[in-house]
Structure 1
Amino acid sequence: MRRVSLVVVVALVVLAGCTAPISDAEDELDGDRELGRVGDYNATDTIEIDGSGPLTEDEREAVKHRAMARIEEIRGLEFEEDVELEVVNREEYRERWQQDRDPASQFTNELWRGAFVVDGETDVNEAFDELYGDSILGYYSDGRIVLVVDDDDRIDRTTLVHELVHALQDQQFGLGSGGATIDERRATTGLAEGEAEYVPSLYDERCGEQWECLDAATPDTAPPDQRSFNAGLFLSVYTPYAEGPTFVAHRHETTGWEGVDAVHEDPPTSTAQLIHPERYPEARPADVTVEDRSTSEWEPLTDDGERRTETVGEATLFATLWSNGVIGRPLGEGSGEYSRYNYSHPATDGWAGDTFVAYGDGNETGHVWKLAWESEGDAREFRDAYVEVLESQGADAVDSADGVYRIPDDEEFAGAYRVDLEGDEVVIVGAPTVTDLEAIHRPSPTSTAIAPAAPPTAPTPEATSRTGAPADASVPVNP
């Protein structure tokens, strides 16, 4: 599996040559004030900063209010309340973030294992903690912004503006996790994060000639596959930041800010709409039903007595294929002006919907994953790509007529897999053993066998054995 890190802030410096005084502002903002003036500051004001070290509390307040005034001018919306700002170092943030959380549920671990993102020996909650602990630059929550800095670095302009946009969204439209599935949550978050990435880009365009600004952070641009974090998990979580800005830019350029406001009332329902903005709002995910064909030995995993299901979505499918080496192009190839990565690929572009169901026998776990596609050709293309994922993990065809594959016990994603093509749908079954495949889900008589697999062409990862793992990874909306 490829490993990846989030963007890292390297250095922050405040521009010199400032004239406006620093003064306190009211906690409650005047509702009758002029748009684009917050506290004592207009968008074009400069601020006198003393020294080259971290900003004082008064300096931070001044920079914050000026940034709020500039966001109002760009966005055409007014902050209703002031926003509390706190700055903490990385160590302080880690102490706040690290909690004694329960391990992830069997369902969640089986889901991410089935997507070939987190292996069977790794708890998903631990993987999320590793991802977030060293990568958060700031967050907004309940009227308060926390910026995370390293050592004595100054606050970063882009991060401050990003989080202030979230505060504006919260005051104007409300912020929430929104969505019943992974895919829908990524899509809803894509609107919030997309706007919070797009507005700083418009802000940056005015810095220098029109506005005196703090310096923005210099991103670490090392290739993602040379980083330390789980690439597939990162790419799934990063979808709102990568594809959301292009979605919001498309809406702004075609319908104005009024059109963006309207999307807050009717958010996108799938990451496919983020990746392909022209599909919003008409192209809604298909309702994909997984029929229970299990024997009495295997039971669907439930939540409060109800069979639990999940929808992974186009973006996470892309993350699966890219992190397993099936998609070989650089992530930035074909990306838009406002997005760093491009999640579009022929093997996943035809996604129409999917449903994942996990099963347990009291000890180990397995799954059934049905994916609907726009056409039979799209279904075949994804099926072939998924077989490449199996091969990259060391899978051998057990019985090519049945589309059954086996990954050896000493590999990270050890187990048996059956891949069936049923018209414009692909049905994937994962189980501890080949015998368990049919016990979890008998194949449909209309399924099409897969051609024999070619020998693996990619090196297999470090060997570990698969176990049925333990709960849900809770991914915050911000960041």
Structure 2
Amino acid sequence: MQRGRLALFAVVTLVVLSGCTLPDSPDQFDTDRELGYVGDYTHDDVFEFDDDGALTEDQLEAVKYRSMARIEVLRGIKFERDVALEVITRREYRSQRGEPGSASAATNELWRGAFIVDGETDVNRAMDDLYGGAVQGYYTNNRIVIVTDETEEIRIDRETLVHELVHALQDQQFGLSSGGTTIDAQRAELGLIEGEANFIPHLYDRRCGAEWQCLAEYEQPPATSNLREQPFNVGLFLSIYTPYSEGPSFVDRLRERGGWAAVDSAYDDRPASTSQLIHPERYPDDQPVAVSIRDRSSDDWEPYAPDGEARETVGEATLFASLWANGVVERPLTDGGTELSPYNYSHPATDGWAGDTFQVYQDDDDRTGHVWKLAWESDDDAEAFADAYRTLLENRGANAVDDGDGTYRIPDEDPFAGAYRVNVSGDTVTIVGAPTVDELEEIRGTGAEQSESLESPVAPAMGAATSHAGTAPA
């Protein structure tokens, strides 16, 4: 089964919701019961209404418990307590989300500097546009909410229900709290969580028909490689979608290594980078390098730190997203994709990623710039990425400045307008972004790159990652 392009399932923070709610039922389950028996239902139950489109509340309750029993059989562990289930309209969902607040200057600079969200667009608005029309369901605080286009009749997408029930099981057995403090670390942890929640519906679907009678499944459009023609931010989508594309194969590889016990253990030692999702053989031993950036700015510029240091780790997956969205990676996304992982995030320009740190700077006029330092596994890997980044600049209309320092200028009328300098020193690439060419030197002197180590701890993040931690656009 391959889910279509845009279906978001999410683990989110507590939200107050209204809609169609199932009748209350006892919260705690008997943990001594036989696996695959939940409430008054078993995994092999057959319902006369399975071929019907619409469900009553009682039928929805029966489907929920049967699905929970089947997940227990597939996963080999039990639900400890009941899970509330609610159905709301997309209009209600948008209303409850409310209008997003403005992103910080640091967050906007980060995504602009990564050439994903342009300087004329607020990142929070771009996130809201992406999520508002795509979320099919989410899990929060022992409650599942299914988002539908209408609630006159209760209609449930089977994969969405199973996906969110897996999140409930994960929460009960392992916990869903995240220790990741950067975009890359959070995407990586979600690769385990969302990867399993996408992988189990795949196993579930294989038993439908031959072994289990199942609800009719809606036809899903296939994953498309023509994302550049879609009316949403492609780079942002690909960054957010990483856990959903790369996570299922990662979980499958863990299970091949050591069964479900290996997946269980991964919750105690979660993946540390999206590089480990894209290249599962790097988990768990190949840890990202901690990249330091010493402040070498002039008095006119200083590190942006109104609420702490504004530093981030972008990571391999988001680098790939940027290169693909900006036309540097020309192959279709689906080339090299699989049934479990529809989009292939691997590319020679990003495969050698070892670590990165993105530091935002600000001047007295509240203008922003950045220093982005990236570590690579070899000198050749560093050169490959630098070449790809220069191509990105040229694709965005940048002109090379004849100063011998790898400087480029994007004209003022472009939403990514500004000056950029690319420096390669061995296995390290340093990128500086500023409003003007002269201010590149004020943010980062040209002699700074040879004297810094990569050994200091990773700096705290600026909180630019999405607040959703669940299933993303599919």
TM-score by length of 2: 0.89
Aligned Cα root-mean-square deviation (Å): 2.2
Letter of the 2:58 counterpart: D
Runs of 4+ off more than 3 Å? 23-27, 50-53, 470-474
Q: What are the residue-to-residue correspondences of 1:36-435 with 2, within 5 Å?
A: 36-49=36-49, 52-99=52-99, 101-151=100-150, 152=153, 154-221=155-222, 222=224, 223-304=226-307, 306-363=308-365, 364-399=367-402, 401-435=404-438
Residue 470 (structure 2) aligns with: 478
CA 1:445–1:112 in 2, change beyond 3 Å: closer, same or farther? closer
Letter of the 2:199 counterpart: Y
Aligned-partner SS, 2:166: helix
Q: Is the 8 A contact 1:109 1:124 kept in 2?
A: yes
Deviation at 1:53, TM superposition (A): 4.9
Q: Is the 8 A contact 1:109 1:471 kept in 2?
A: no
Deviation at 1:91, TM superposition (A): 1.1
Q: Is the 8 A contact 2:111 2:117 kept in 1?
A: yes
Q: Is the 8 A contact 1:406 1:417 kept in 2?
A: yes
2: CA distance between counterparts of 1:321 and 1:394? 15
Deviation at 1:341, TM superposition (A): 1.0
Deviation at 1:293, TM superposition (A): 1.0
Residue 464 (structure 1) aligns with: none
Q: Is the 8 A contact 1:38 1:66 kept in 2?
A: yes
TM-score by length of 1: 0.88
Q: How many residues align?
A: 440
Deviation at 1:41, TM superposition (A): 1.4
Residue 31 (structure 1) aligns with: 31
Residue 466 (structure 1) aligns with: none
Q: Is the 8 A contact 2:164 2:197 kept in 1?
A: yes
Q: Is the 8 A contact 2:193 2:470 kept in 1?
A: no
Q: Is the 8 A contact 1:359 1:367 kept in 2?
A: yes
Q: Is the 8 A contact 1:366 1:430 kept in 2?
A: yes
Residue 13 (structure 1) aligns with: none
Deviation at 1:291, TM superposition (A): 1.6
CA 1:206–1:53 in 2, change beyond 3 Å: closer, same or farther? closer
Deviation at 1:7, TM superposition (A): 3.8
1: CA distance between counterparts of 2:406 and 2:30? 67
Deviation at 1:8, TM superposition (A): 8.5
2: CA distance between counterparts of 1:260 and 1:191? 8
Residue 451 (structure 1) aligns with: none
Aligned-partner SS, 2:185: helix
Q: Is the 8 A contact 1:193 1:241 kept in 2?
A: yes
Deviation at 1:332, TM superposition (A): 1.4
Deviation at 1:220, TM superposition (A): 2.7
90-99 vs 145-154, which moves further? 145-154
1: CA distance between counterparts of 2:51 and 2:70? 24
Q: Is the 8 A contact 2:52 2:216 kept in 1?
A: no
Deviation at 1:417, TM superposition (A): 0.3
1: CA distance between counterparts of 2:125 and 2:417? 20
1: CA distance between counterparts of 2:271 and 2:190? 9
2: CA distance between counterparts of 1:424 and 1:444? 17
1: CA distance between counterparts of 2:369 and 2:66? 54
Letter of the 1:344 counterpart: S
341-350 vs 222-231, which moves further? 222-231
2: CA distance between counterparts of 1:41 and 1:153? 20
Letter of the 1:61 counterpart: E
Deviation at 1:277, TM superposition (A): 0.5
Aligned-partner SS, 2:49: coil
CA 1:40–1:376 in 2, change beyond 3 Å: closer, same or farther? same
Q: Is the 8 A contact 2:51 2:215 kept in 1?
A: no
Deviation at 1:353, TM superposition (A): 0.1
1: CA distance between counterparts of 2:276 and 2:337? 15
Q: Percent identity, aligned pairs only?
A: 58
| Gaps in structure 2 of 5+ consecutive residues | 10-22, 451-461
Letter of the 2:208 counterpart: C
1: CA distance between counterparts of 2:342 and 2:378? 30
Q: Is the 8 A contact 2:50 2:213 kept in 1?
A: no
Q: Is the 8 A contact 2:50 2:214 kept in 1?
A: no
CA 1:471–1:336 in 2, change beyond 3 Å: closer, same or farther? closer
Residue 17 (structure 1) aligns with: none
Deviation at 1:31, TM superposition (A): 1.7
2: CA distance between counterparts of 1:370 and 1:377? 16
Cα deviation per residue 1:17-54 (whole Å; 9 max; x = unaligned)? xxxxxx99644211221111001111111113299453
Aligned-partner SS, 1:360: strand
Letter of the 1:252 counterpart: R
